[in-house]
A and B are shown apart, each in its own frame.
Chain A
Amino acid sequence: MGGCVSGDLKGGKQAIGGVHGRSTMNNDAGYNEAIDHFFRVRDQSPLFTPIELSLSASNLRNLDILSKSDPMAVLYVKKMDGTLEELGRTEVILNCLNPTWIEKINVSYQFEIVQNLVFHVYDVDTKYYNMSVKALKLNEQDFLGEATCVLSEIVTKRNQSLTLNLHGKNGPGGSKNFGTLTVHAEESCLSRMAVEMKLRCSQLGNKDMFSKSDPFLRISRLTESGKYVPICKTDVINNNLNPVWRPLYLSMQQFGSKDNPLLIECFNFNSNGNHVLIGQLHKSVSELEKLHKERSGANLVFPTHRGQEKVLKGQLFVDQFIGKEQFSFLDYISSGFELNFMVAVDFTASNGTPRNQDSLHYIDPSGRLNSYQKAIIEAGEVIQFYDSDRRFPAWGFGGRYGGTLSHCFNLNGTNAYEVEGVQGIMAAYANALHTVTLAGPTLFGPVINTAAQLASQATSNDITKYFVLLIITDGVLTDIEETMDALVRASDLPLSILIVGVGNADFKQMEVLDADDGCRLESSTGRVATRDIVQFVPMREVHSGQISAVQALLEELPDQFLTYNRSRNIKPLHS
């Protein structure tokens, strides 16, 4: 009863306020378009990818006199400060120099960072046979060998298996044969599960005095800490007490598990942001599927101040429920798809003369990296693992090369635009600083068009190539309209563009190009970007534990890659 009184009072306030209680049409529409774009861009975005590693070894050293070794493997990740963090252990296999361990070790794959793995193999002493492997003290066991690799090296292999030579604690190069370790990576099939649902409500309570409600749904997931975290919301349906929302896509990573309780809240949209709760209910994905099969509705409830729930007349129905397994980013990569890295570096005069210590291009004799070098290294070291030939196009723009102003010149100075590896980019960059005169103005259009040309050749010849252009710039664009036109034309190609801003300029223009606010880029002729291919971040000092600027950029790449390939129904290659 208290709830009713509060509701009436609220309604009364709305009536008194007049327009304040209702959304304006324009506000609604913008909100809907932003949500739509959010869903389009974030379609089934995984938060991380769980990977199971299976280990086996061959030709291990035999340390036992009267029997063979009893091997166990331990997996560590090497952290930024060089320390090793243990991720898991296998079981002990008795009397075997060629073990295939059964226990799998779970690792979270993160595309945006280089994940250095360290494997140690031990011979477990006989007297510890009956102990749990977790209780074993490793310094009391005999060390059999060590191997290191990057997680990306495993998942990019055609069969997702990598064989490594084991070596002693003093590192590779010794004459002794320590045997080999084979690591097989498998993505948990649960991580590929996704659900498409079409939700509908009927007979919602009306929260507007002079018109009908503008309802939308918000779905939240119960976390381990007992709090609800929103995972998605629907568009707003104007003036409708029996709304039908457009289909939602939820991935397993979003809702946790099919039986995890979800909180589904129905709100009346108000443009002032104070949305009024119409009703709510708790259902898991399994229960929603059951509602769909039985074609029945579930009543919304309204929480009261006394902790009880008032059952409302309004009901939620599931008109459509499709569970499906989607190909994941790693499915494409392990079947032979590649990411091809390209770099474009700003050589305009606003960076300052490279000889001066305050220049953004200053090469410190002590080896400390400038912002351009940091961005190249951080992005290149991640993406290089996804390119089989590791030959990267590298350009400069805004500089005078050979006396001629160029807005897209080859960084290595020759007719060939490609350099060898990340170190090749770094060397070409350092050399260019000696041969190029900084000039201006800052144009992005030419390098974007050149990159798009390369990407378009790929679509004709090889659907497995996806291009990533990193643009590093310090300044404000002169050709914002030409840049937007170029980006819109490129948006239908297998290309993503990462823009890193260095220095202290005002980067508002960059944030316009980065479509995170939901507005699709529009060219001067009225063509609209097919999808969002641009990400921008300003370079900033990374504090301990904080994600770096470049990592934040790279994190979006698998989604952009998947959006492109799924929209064209391009599938991973068959083995």
Chain B
Amino acid sequence: METKSRTLEITVLSAEDLRSDNKPVKKNAYVVVSVDPFNNKATKVDGEGGSYPSWNDKLVMEMPLQTRFVTLLVKCKGSRGEKTVGLARIPVMDFVGGYSPATCLQFLSYRLRDPKGLKNGIINVSLRVKEPLQDCSSQAAAAGGGNAATIGMGIPIDGRRDYGMVTGIPIWTGYPSNSLF
């Protein structure tokens, strides 16, 4: 059976210096991750991080082989609806075929651009591609699969969550229906 996709584990860690209409974002930032126009998932909303939100949300997504970019769309919920804060595109080449094997946990950061194309903060993620037969050394893999996502480059907030092994696709209510951009 031919495989047309691979499993991407991406942890959206944190963002820095988010602004909306030239003012710092006050609260309720979240990120929509897309691997193609029809497949996306969102992080939870950070209600208290302001313009320096931390999510540490791990998302597992099936990424088609032909995907060239993983798109990160940062939005915030306000009293007058949702706003787009910034966009970053991660070239798949940055983590597949780069210095490290795609199966190793990698920490990447990208400049966000606002809807006008102006610089707007930085987003930090960690990610790896799951390929069961070609894993890294055991301790590095264990670090990647276990707790690394909860520490990462972001600053942890109250109530650390324990990310065990992935047992299924996360399901949540209130999935934003207008997240496509």
A569: Cβ under 8 A from any B Cβ: yes
A33 and B137 form a contact (CB under 8 A): no
Interface pair A527/B136, CB less than 8 Å apart: no
B82 part of interface (Cβ distance < 8 Å): no
Q: 1/0 per residue A454-494: CB within 8 Å of B?
A: 01100111110000000000000000000000000110110
How many residues on chain A are close to B (CB under 8 Å)? 44
Asked if B155 contacts A461 (CB within 8 A), the reply is no
Q: With the chains together, A394 CA to B94 CA distance in Å?
A: 28
A-B contact pairs, 21 of them (CB 8 A): A25-B23, A28-B24, A36-B16, A238-B24, A247-B157, A455-B99, A459-B99, A459-B104, A459-B136, A460-B104, A460-B136, A463-B137, A489-B98, A489-B99, A490-B99, A531-B107, A531-B153, A566-B151, A567-B152, A568-B143, A571-B139
Contact for B107 among A25, A246, A530, A570, CB less than 8 A = A530
Instruction: Kindly name the residue among A244, A492, A520 whose own CB sees the greatest number of chain B CB atoms within 10 A.
Output: A492
Q: Find out whether the CB atom of B109 lies under 8 angstroms from the CB atom of A527.
A: yes
Q: Whole-angstrom distance between the alpha carbons of A529 and B139 in the complex?
A: 25
Residue numbers in A under 8 Å from B62 (CB-CB)? none
Determine whether B28 belongs to the interface, using a CB cutoff of 8 Å to chain A. Answer: no
User: Would you call A29 an interface residue if the criterion is a C-beta within 8 Å of the partner chain's C-beta atoms?
Assistant: yes
Question: Contact at B139–A527, with CB atoms within 8 Å?
Answer: no
Chain A residue nearest to B150 in the complex (CB): A569
- By Cβ-Cβ distance, the 8 closest A-B pairs, closest first, are A456-B99, A528-B109, A526-B111, A569-B148, A569-B143, A530-B107, A569-B147, A33-B17
Any chain A CB within 8 A of the CB of B19?
yes
Residues of chain B contacted by A530 (CB below 8 angstroms)? 107-109, 124, 153
Q: Which of A29, A452, A492 contacts B19 (CB 8 A)?
A: A29
Bound Cα distance A217, B99 (Å): 41
Is B30 interfacial (CB-CB < 8 Å)? Answer: no
For residue A284, CB closer than 8 A to chain B, the reply is no
Q: Which residues of B contact A460 (CB under 8 A)?
A: 100-101, 104, 136-137
Contact of B109 among A246, A493, A529 (CB under 8 A): A529
Decide: A461 and B139 in contact? CB cutoff 8 A: no
Contact B100 A493 (CB under 8 A): yes
A484 to chain B, nearest CB (A): 13
- A-facing residues in B98-157 (Cβ within 8 Å): 98-101, 104-111, 113, 122, 124, 136-137, 139-140, 143-144, 146-148, 151-153, 155-157
Nearest chain B CB to A296's CB is how many angstroms away? 19
**A36 and B52: CB pair below 8 A?**
yes
A462 CB contact (under 8 Å) in B17, B88, B137, B146: B137
**Does B158 make an interface contact (CB < 8 A)?**
yes
Q: Are B100 and A520 in contact (CB under 8 A)?
A: no
Q: Shortest Cβ distance from A210 into chain B, in angstroms?
A: 16
Check A570–B140 contact: CB distance below 8 A. Answer: yes
Q: Which residues of B contact A568 (CB under 8 A)?
A: 105, 107, 140, 143-144, 148
CA distance A343 to B139 in the complex (A): 29
Which single residue of chain A is at the shortest CB-CB distance from B106? A492
| With contact pairs A198-B158, A570-B143 given, residues A493 and B99 touching in the complex (Cβ less than 8 Å) | yes
Q: Does A359 contact B (CB under 8 A)?
A: no
Near A by CB (< 8 A), chain B positions 156-176 give 156-158
If A25-B23, A522-B111, A526-B88 touch, whether A569 touches B153 (CB-CB below 8 Å) is no
A404 near B: Cβ within 8 Å?
no
Contacts of A571 in B (CB 8 A): 139, 143
Confirm or deny: A32 has a beta carbon within 8 angstroms of a beta carbon on chain B.
Answer: yes
Bound CA span A456–B101, Å? 9
Find chain A residues with CB under 8 A from B88 CB: 526
Interface: A556 (CB within 8 A): no
B8 to chain A, nearest CB (A): 17
* A146 / chain B contacts, CB cutoff of 8 Å: none
- Decide: B108 and A247 in contact? CB cutoff 8 A: no
Q: In the bound complex, what is the Cα–Cα distance between A36 and B52 (angstroms)? A: 9
- Tell whether B51 is near chain A: CB-to-CB under 8 Å: yes
State which size class the interface on B falls in: 35 or more
Q: Which residues of B contact A520 (CB under 8 A)?
A: 109, 122
> Is B153 within 8 A of A452, CB to CB?
no
A40 within 8 A of B: yes
B22 at the interface (CB under 8 A from A): yes
Per-residue CB contact flags for chain B residues 39-81 toward chain A (1 = under 8 Å, else 0) read 0000000001111100000000000000000000000000000
With A238-B24, A569-B151 as contacts: A528 and B111 at CB distance below 8 Å = yes
Using CB atoms, name the residue of chain A closest to B111: A526
Give 19 new A-B contacts, CB below 8 A, not counting A29-B24, A456-B98, A460-B101.
A25-B23, A29-B19, A33-B17, A40-B153, A237-B50, A320-B158, A459-B100, A461-B137, A526-B110, A526-B111, A527-B94, A528-B122, A531-B153, A567-B153, A568-B107, A568-B144, A569-B143, A569-B151, A570-B139
Whether B100 contacts A456 by the Cβ 8 Å rule is yes
Instruction: Find chain B residues with CB under 8 A from A567 CB.
Output: 107, 148, 151-153
Residues from chain B with a CB closer than 8 A to the CB of A493 are 99-100
Q: Who on chain B is nearest to A563 by CB?
A: B153
Is the C-beta of A525 less than 8 angstroms from some C-beta in chain B?
yes
Interface residues of A in 5-40 (CB under 8 A from B): 25, 28-29, 32-33, 36, 40
* CB <8 Å contact, A525 and B91: yes
Which chain A positions have C-beta within 8 A of B105? 568
**Cα-based distance from A129 to B109 in the complex (angstroms):** 66
With A and B bound together, what is the CA distance between A40 and B151 in angstroms? 12
Complex-state Cα separation, A569 to B162, whole angstroms: 13
Residue of B nearest to A249 (CB): B155
Interface residues in A490-506 by Cβ distance below 8 A to B read: 490, 492-493
